[in-house]
Structure 1
Amino acid sequence: MGSDFSNLSQKLSEINSVVSNMLNQNHDFFDHALSISTQDFLGWVDSEKLISHFEEYSNIAKKYEFASYEKIFVIGMGGSSLGARVLIDNFLRNKKREVYFVDNYHPEFLRNLWENHAGSEIMFLVCSKSGNTLETLMIFEYFYQNVEQLNKNNSPGQSFIAITDQNSRLDSIAQSKNFAEIVYGVKEIGGRYSVLSCFGMFPALMSGVESSDLIESLIDCLVEFRESDYFLQCEQLIKFILEGLVNDEDKIFLDIDPQLSGFSEWIQQLIAESLGKNYKGIVPLIHNISLEVHNSNNLIFSLKQDSIFSYDVVKSPIGSIFEVQLSNNNDLISQLFVWEIVVASLGVLTGTNPFDQPDVQLSKNETNYFIESNEKIEILDNQISIDELIDCFENLDKNGYVGFLYFTNPQSNVPNLMNSLAYTLSLKFHIPIIQAIGPNYLHSLGQLFKGGPDNGTFIQFVSSNVGQDIQVPYQNFSFYDLMSAQVQGEHKILNLIDRNPLVVNLGNEPEKKLEKFIEKLKLAGF
Structure 2
Amino acid sequence: MSNSHRPLQAHLGKYQTAIAAAHADIVQQKILERIWQHDHTVWKPEPTEITNRLGWLHSPAVMQKSIAEIAAFVDEVRAAGFTHALLLGMGGSSLAPEVFRFTFGVAPGYLDLAVLDSTHPGAVLQHARRLDLSKTLFIVSTKSGGTVETFSFFKYFYNELLKIAGKEKAGEHFVAITDPGSGLADTAKEYRFRKTFLNDPNIGGRYSALSYFGLVPAALLGVDIGKLLARAQNAASDKSDGNIAVQLGAAMGELAKAGRDKVTFLTSPAIASFGAWVEQLIAESTGKEGKGILPVLEEEPGAPEVYAEDRSFVYLRLNGDDTHTARIKALANAGHPVVQIDLQDTYDLGAEFFRWEIATVIAGQRLGINPFDQPNVESAKVLARKTVAEFQEKGRLPELAPTAIESGLTAYADFPARSIKQALKDFLALARTEQPRSYVALQAYLAPNHATDEALQLLAAKVRDEYQLAATIGYGPRFLHSTGQLHKGDAGNGLFIQCTGNATEDAAIPNKAGEENSSMSFGTLLLAQALGDRQALLDNQRSVLRVDLGKNVVEGLKRLQEML
Matched, 1:496 2:510: no
User: How far off is 1:201 after superposition?
Assistant: 0.7
> Within 2, Cα distance between the matches of 1:153 and 1:336?
40
Paired residues of 2:494 and 2:543 also in contact (CA < 8 A):
no
Correspondence for 1:116: 130
TM-superposition CA deviations, 1:313-352 (whole Å, max 9, x none): 9932151111111103452211110000011122122111
* TM-score when normalising by structure 2: 0.83
Correspondence for 1:407: 445
Correspondence for 2:76: 63
Matched, 1:143 2:157: yes
SS in 1 for 2:53: coil
Question: Which residue, 53, 59, 82 being the options, matches 1:41?
Answer: 53
Paired residues of 2:23 and 2:247 also in contact (CA < 8 A):
no
> Within 2, Cα distance between the matches of 1:218 and 1:92?
20
- Which aligned pairs between 1:18-29 and structure 2 lie closer than 5 A? 18-22=31-35, 24-27=36-39, 29=41
Correspondence for 1:443: 481
Paired residues of 2:285 and 2:373 also in contact (CA < 8 A):
yes
User: How far off is 1:269 after superposition?
Assistant: 0.7
Correspondence for 2:279: 268
SS in 2 for 1:225: coil
Alpha-carbon distance change, 356 to 255 in structure 1, aligned in 2, over 3 angstroms: same
User: How far off is 1:53 after superposition?
Assistant: 4.5
Question: Which residue, 323, 332, 337 being the options, matches 2:354?
Answer: 337
User: How far off is 1:35 after superposition?
Assistant: 5.2
> Letter of the aligned partner of 2:287 in structure 1?
G
Correspondence for 1:389: 424
TM-superposition CA deviations, 1:85-125 (whole Å, max 9, x none): 22333347533532211011211221121112236611111
User: How far off is 1:63 after superposition?
Assistant: 2.9
Alpha-carbon distance change, 8 to 233 in structure 1, aligned in 2, over 3 angstroms: closer
Alpha-carbon distance change, 454 to 290 in structure 1, aligned in 2, over 3 angstroms: farther
Paired residues of 2:85 and 2:138 also in contact (CA < 8 A):
yes
Matched, 1:259 2:253: no
> Within 2, Cα distance between the matches of 1:226 and 1:501?
44
Correspondence for 1:247: 258
> Within 2, Cα distance between the matches of 1:491 and 1:83?
27
Paired residues of 2:261 and 2:311 also in contact (CA < 8 A):
no
> Within 1, Cα distance between the matches of 2:464 and 2:311?
15
Matched, 1:379 2:400: yes
Greater alpha carbon shift after TM alignment, 404-413 vs 158-167: 404-413
- Which aligned pairs between 1:264-303 and structure 2 lie closer than 5 A? 264-287=275-298, 288-289=300-301, 292=304, 293-295=306-308, 298-303=311-316
Question: Which residue, 190, 208, 228 being the options, matches 1:214?
Answer: 228
Correspondence for 2:3: none
Paired residues of 1:87 and 1:201 also in contact (CA < 8 A):
no
Alpha-carbon distance change, 15 to 33 in structure 1, aligned in 2, over 3 angstroms: farther
> Within 2, Cα distance between the matches of 1:492 and 1:203?
35
> Letter of the aligned partner of 2:399 in structure 1?
E
Correspondence for 1:428: 466
Alpha-carbon distance change, 318 to 264 in structure 1, aligned in 2, over 3 angstroms: farther
> Within 1, Cα distance between the matches of 2:301 and 2:229?
38
> Letter of the aligned partner of 1:306 in structure 2?
N
> Within 2, Cα distance between the matches of 1:291 and 1:138?
44
User: How far off is 1:254 after superposition?
Assistant: 0.7
Alpha-carbon distance change, 421 to 380 in structure 1, aligned in 2, over 3 angstroms: farther
User: How far off is 1:388 after superposition?
Assistant: 2.2
Paired residues of 1:44 and 1:50 also in contact (CA < 8 A):
no
Correspondence for 2:14: none
> Letter of the aligned partner of 1:500 in structure 2?
S
User: How far off is 1:182 after superposition?
Assistant: 0.4
> Within 2, Cα distance between the matches of 1:20 and 1:453?
31
> Letter of the aligned partner of 2:536 in structure 1?
I
User: How far off is 1:291 after superposition?
Assistant: 6.7
Q: Calculate percent identity across the aligned residue pairs.
A: 27
Alpha-carbon distance change, 422 to 94 in structure 1, aligned in 2, over 3 angstroms: closer
SS in 2 for 1:304: strand
TM-superposition CA deviations, 1:407-445 (whole Å, max 9, x none): 111136333222222222321121111112101000011
Alpha-carbon distance change, 128 to 354 in structure 1, aligned in 2, over 3 angstroms: same
User: How far off is 1:213 after superposition?
Assistant: 2.7
> Within 2, Cα distance between the matches of 1:427 and 1:441?
24
Greater alpha carbon shift after TM alignment, 97-106 vs 238-247: 238-247
Paired residues of 2:44 and 2:369 also in contact (CA < 8 A):
no
Question: Which residue, 70, 73, 76 being the options, matches 2:89?
Answer: 76
> Within 1, Cα distance between the matches of 2:287 and 2:383?
19
SS in 2 for 1:490: helix
Correspondence for 2:510: 473
TM-superposition CA deviations, 1:223-251 (whole Å, max 9, x none): x3336x9x621122122223312322111
Correspondence for 1:90: 103
User: How far off is 1:395 after superposition?
Assistant: 4.5
Alpha-carbon distance change, 55 to 343 in structure 1, aligned in 2, over 3 angstroms: farther
TM-superposition CA deviations, 1:389-411 (whole Å, max 9, x none): 13432442362100111211113
Matched, 1:514 2:514: no
Alpha-carbon distance change, 120 to 515 in structure 1, aligned in 2, over 3 angstroms: farther
Gaps of 5+ in 2: 1-17, 322-327, 404-411, 414-419, 512-517
User: How far off is 1:447 after superposition?
Assistant: 0.4
> Within 2, Cα distance between the matches of 1:290 and 1:74?
35
Matched, 1:452 2:464: no
> Within 1, Cα distance between the matches of 2:83 and 2:197?
21
Paired residues of 2:442 and 2:472 also in contact (CA < 8 A):
yes
> Within 1, Cα distance between the matches of 2:198 and 2:377?
23
User: How far off is 1:453 after superposition?
Assistant: 1.9
> Within 2, Cα distance between the matches of 1:154 and 1:386?
57
- Which aligned pairs between 1:181-196 and structure 2 lie closer than 5 A? 181-196=195-210
TM-superposition CA deviations, 1:3-55 (whole Å, max 9, x none): xxxx9997543323222221x23335447556536331111112543333445
> Within 1, Cα distance between the matches of 2:258 and 2:150?
41
> Letter of the aligned partner of 2:94 in structure 1?
S
Alpha-carbon distance change, 378 to 289 in structure 1, aligned in 2, over 3 angstroms: farther
Correspondence for 1:524: none
> Within 2, Cα distance between the matches of 1:153 and 1:38?
42
> Within 1, Cα distance between the matches of 2:130 and 2:69?
34
Alpha-carbon distance change, 503 to 473 in structure 1, aligned in 2, over 3 angstroms: same
> Within 1, Cα distance between the matches of 2:47 and 2:40?
10
Matched, 1:103 2:117: yes
Paired residues of 2:443 and 2:499 also in contact (CA < 8 A):
yes
User: How far off is 1:138 after superposition?
Assistant: 0.1
SS in 2 for 1:300: strand
